[in-house]
Amino acid sequence: MIRVALLGKIGSGKSFVSKLFKFPVFNADNEVKKIYKNDRECFRKFKRKLPNFISTFPIKKKEVIKAINSNKNNLKKISSIIHPIVRKKMENFLNKNKKSKIVVLDIPLLIENKLNKKRDVLIFVSSSNKNILKRLKKRPLFNKEILKTFKKNQSLLVKKRKLADYIVDNNYPPSVMKNKIKLIKKKILNERNST
């Protein structure tokens, strides 16, 4: 099983690129949404650590954003609860898909949370600021303040770009992007088969 991990700025289109691989994808943001919706234990921990912000179950993303905006230390509290749950879900995903030739990891803080392995194929997805802003504005709860906070946490972008085995320029129409990913996929499979 080859682990392909996607890196890049928030809003660069990592989720779009991940789907083009046509292999199982672990999307950390989607997992967090599910946790907020279904995990009562997570809610109890949030309520204990952030009683002024988190009051009702399911957890509302709006309340989480409010907590982060009011005090940057709250992000650490939230991360300390949510990251171990996401890590466990990722391990379950990898076990379930161990017979797959490739699995794609779409995890925004993969490097920061040391979830990467030495043999991972790292792909950095880049996109123009204009396109990033366009994508982010389509999201519910688009908020410039929260964007700044997450950009700081998605630090090391220059370092990530240097670490990457491939850089994908995501400023092209979907048909062009499909071909780009097809070529990269072929290269990855050929390289691993020849080693």
Q: 86-101 pLDDT, tens per residue?
A: 999 999 999 999 999 9
CATH topology for the 1-24+99-195 domain: Rossmann fold (3.40.50)
Using pLDDT thresholds of 50, 70 and 90, give the confidence band for residue 149.
Answer: low
CA 135 to chain CA mean position, Å: 15
pLDDT average, residue stretch 8-35:
94
**7's tokens:** 């890196």
CB atoms within 10 A of CB 165: 15
Q: To the nearest 10°, report the CA torsion of 86, 107, 120, 114.
A: -60
Residue (of 97, 95, 120) closest to 25 by Cα position: 97
Q: Is 164 helix (H, G, I), strand (E, B) or coil?
A: coil
**60's tokens:** 């509302």
- Predicted structure pTM score: 0.88
**115's tokens:** 């979830």
Residue 152: exposed, middle, or buried by beta-carbon count in 10 A (0-12, 13-18, 19+)?
exposed
Q: 50-67 pLDDT, tens per residue?
A: 999 999 999 998 899 899
* pLDDT for position 135: 82
How far is it, in rounded angstroms, from Cα 87 to Cα 12?
23
pLDDT average, residue stretch 25-41:
96
Query: Which residues neighbour 61 within 8 Å (Cβ) at sequence distance 6 or greater?
Result: 33, 36, 141
Using pLDDT thresholds of 50, 70 and 90, give the confidence band for residue 72.
Answer: confident
11-15, 44-48, 64-68, range with greatest mean pLDDT: 44-48
CB 86 within 8 A of CB 33: no
* pLDDT for position 109: 84
* pLDDT for position 182: 96
Q: What angle do CA 71, 72, 73 make, to 5 degrees?
A: 90
Q: 176-194 pLDDT, tens per residue?
A: 999 999 999 999 999 877 7
| Domain locations along the chain | 1-24+99-195, 29-96
Q: Is 133 helix (H, G, I), strand (E, B) or coil?
A: helix
Q: Examine the pLDDT at 148 and tell me if it is beyond 70.
A: no
How far is it, in rounded angstroms, from Cα 69 to Cα 53?
11
